[in-house]
Amino acid sequence: MANSRPLTNVQQRDVNAILHPYTPLHKLQENGPLVMGHGKGVYLYDTQGKEYIEGMSGLWCAGLGFGDEEMIEAATEQMRTLPYYHLFGGKGMEPAIELAEKLKEIAPVPISKVFYTSSGSEANDTQVKLAWYYNNALGRPKKKKIISRVKAYHGVTIMAASLTGLPYNHMGWDLPVEGILHTDCPHYYRFGQEGESEAEFVARLATSLRDMIEREGPETIAAFIAEPVMGAGGVLVPPASYFSAIEPILREHDIMIIADEVINGFGRTGNWWGSQSVGMTPTTISAAKQLTAAYSPLGAVLVPEDIYQAYVDHSAQIGTFGHGFTYGGHPVGCALGVKAIEIYQRRNIVDYVRGLTPLFEARLAKVKDHPLVGEVRNCGLMGAVELVADKATKRPFNPAHAVGPALARFLEGHGAVLRAVGDSIAFCPPMIITEDELNELFNRFELALADTEAYVSTGSLRAA
């Protein structure tokens, strides 16, 4: 599926100048990048003028789509007033204060303080540092290990990538670092054993987690981190009883529960927070992405009062709280966060997502019977279609055949953008998408699915 056309000028300039993330670099010079020129609403237009429905909200983040005039005005006004300042050394800014107040107001559990970062990766990296700092403050210097999960995605800094449970984030990078553990992935379709009910699957995972804690020693484990719905692992929705089964085990052993809400938060799952959609009760929370509807980089860590007081006590012993980022709490980002939450509330985005979810589920169900489709899954307006080589046995395609990425390229040809997570095709459209636009996204997806079926058949890619 190599590009038979020569690269355009802008594609060649890109290839000559940019190191692309999450890209097969060996193929980029031949195929060139898809270079976007502008966007409006749920639509993007490349530099050649071709239209695409953006079905992934960029990277799970552009919940209000592109070109929202209220967001543009909020950024412009803040740039005129105070384009940059920081929170170091006890400095403050009104936008950072107002956003923290709003986050405390809508948080799913009682929150005392908000710590700002520039991204979700930094937020999760900070969560680990804060867990270490907290346990040092309590005189528990050995309680430092963090439990994550297979197929989790928590970011790409050294620590956040270690928390991530995906092979490509570790291979070639000398990761994960010491002290990071990965327990089972709660994806029943892929990891349930033959003849095992969903309830039995959950019980097995809970027992496995308990065994890990007892084997490692609970006195050495600081926290458990989880996305309510696992995003970049393939939009993996846990069984309904999963968190109610594992949380008592964690609390019994005094292990903090960190909710990575970076993708799930701000209405995406049909609640303000993914935690509320899956029955998760976190100790602390990481947020980013739709926090600003992607109109500016910004992340945040939300902590409760008792943990904050431990930070205060330890700061008094040391002399300061020695952590922070130059752009953490950037005034433009915070002003955009305030405006985004205001828009979500005024436009009642949670109810709007809930109203669209039945159509989303119906269109996913329509493709479930396709011979290439093993499973469809969703939570609110997050969803995925998992492609398989054999529907009856759930046998996946050989990863070397890159069937999922092939479908994503066919989809671009039909004027839509979705993301291939291995052979799972992820959907995460802007939350402002209309019923007509959502139907059109799926119409284009079905055309690409037909192209993929022909491609698989021609290449005999179903062979084991």
| H or E element that contains 247 | helix 242-252
Give the sign of the dihedral formed by CA 75, CA 76, CA 77, CA 79.
Answer: positive
Q: pTM for the full model?
A: 0.95
Residues 59 and 417 sit within 8 Å (Cβ to Cβ): no
Residue 146 to residue 416: CA distance in whole angstroms: 38
Provide the residue type at 159 as one letter. Answer: M
pLDDT digits (tens, 9 = 90+) for 262-316: 999 999 999 999 999 999 999 999 999 999 999 999 999 999 999 999 999 999 9
pLDDT digits (tens, 9 = 90+) for 26-57: 888 888 999 999 999 999 999 999 999 999 99
Residues 402 and 32 sit within 8 Å (Cβ to Cβ): no
Q: Which residues in 278-369 belong to E strands, given as ranges? A: 284-287, 299-303
What's the CATH fold of domain 34-67+348-458?
Answer: Aspartate Aminotransferase, domain 1 (3.90.1150)
Q: Domain locations in the chain?
A: 34-67+348-458, 70-346
Could you give the C-alpha distances from 453 to 189, 372, 375, in angstroms and in order?
A: 22, 7, 16
> Are β-strands 256-260 and 221-226 bridged in parallel, bridged antiparallel, or unpaired?
parallel
| H or E element that contains 52 | strand 51-54
Q: Do domains 34-67+348-458 and 70-346 have the same CATH topology?
A: no
Virtual CA dihedral for 337, 339, 344, 346, nearest 10 degrees? 160
The architecture (CATH level 2) of 70-346 comes to 3-Layer(aba) Sandwich (3.40)
| pLDDT confidence of residue 177 | 97
Which class for 5: exposed (0-12), middle (13-18), buried (19 or more C-beta within 10 A)?
Answer: exposed
pLDDT digits (tens, 9 = 90+) for 406-421: 999 999 999 999 999 9
| pLDDT confidence of residue 349 | 98
pLDDT digits (tens, 9 = 90+) for 70-111: 999 999 999 999 999 999 999 999 999 999 999 999 999 999
